[in-house]
Amino acid sequence: MASATIRDTGALLRRLRDIMKSNKYFTDVIHAYIVPTTDPHRNEYVADCFQRRAFLSNFTGSNGTAVVTLNEALLWTDGRYFLQADQELDKQYWKLMKDGTKDVLSITNWLARNLESNSNVACDPKLVSIGEWKDWTETLSQSDKNLIAIDQNLIDLIWEERPKLPQEPIWEYDVKFAGSSTTAEKLSKVREKLKEYQVQHLIVHRTDDVAWLFNLRGADIPYNPVFLSFALVGHDYVK
């Protein structure tokens, strides 16, 4: 759950833009930085340490993507959160983009239209799916914009006293509640699919998938019975 603390978002934006112009994390100026809501597991609801968009914008809804250019800050969100975003965003610094409404462009179409040719658009690649990244690259390249992967999340550089990764207890979910399948049975079925598709490994990145596969539960994300984790399944091992 995002903190209700109201931050000086104007000061945060100035610090972020200084980093974007510094050439420290990329060889050229970063003209736009995309800040998704999600975490490396692609969760909609995220642990406090991953509430980067909420930290930067003060908007605490579960859905939304912030885009910061060198002179504008915009937030896209869906119809569930139009009223909340209108109340929480500081309109002196932020513009609300009501996703799905008439005349509101998608993020990449807006960037393609409003940035100059050869501009650099950056994002933390750990927060974007492969499909999204390919779509963004295609849309931006058509208007001579560059999509840049920067592993160092720029929001983390300005987030003082960022919460630590949660380390809540993990417990076994009894098979009588989980259903008839034990972890061994589930792994056996996964390995059958590995053979069917002729692949050697499966990377499991979704926290709910990991929890299901191992019949485990946790409390790393408020109101979600999951724990932050990845799994790697091979034909004769699991990690």
For each of the chain's 239 residues, which pLDDT tens digit applies?
Answer: 444 678 899 999 999 999 999 988 888 999 999 999 999 999 989 999 999 999 999 999 999 999 999 999 999 999 999 999 999 999 999 999 999 999 999 999 999 999 999 999 999 999 999 999 999 999 999 999 999 999 999 999 999 999 999 999 999 998 888 876 899 999 999 999 999 999 999 999 999 999 999 999 999 999 999 999 999 999 999 99
9-158 CATH fold: Creatine Amidinohydrolase; Chain A, domain 1 (3.40.350)
Where does 171-234 sit in CATH, by number?
Answer: 3.40.350.10
pTM: 0.91
Query: Going along 18-175, which residue ranges are E strands?
Result: 32-35, 65-69, 73-77, 95-98, 120-123, 146-149, 171-172
User: Does residue 169 sit in helix, strand or coil?
Assistant: coil
Contact 25, 75 (CB under 8 A): no
Report the C-alpha gap between 58 and 56 in whole angstroms.
Answer: 6
Taking Cα atoms as reference points, which of 205, 203, 207 lies closest to residue 219? 207
Which residues of the chain does CATH 3.40.350.10 include?
9-158, 171-234
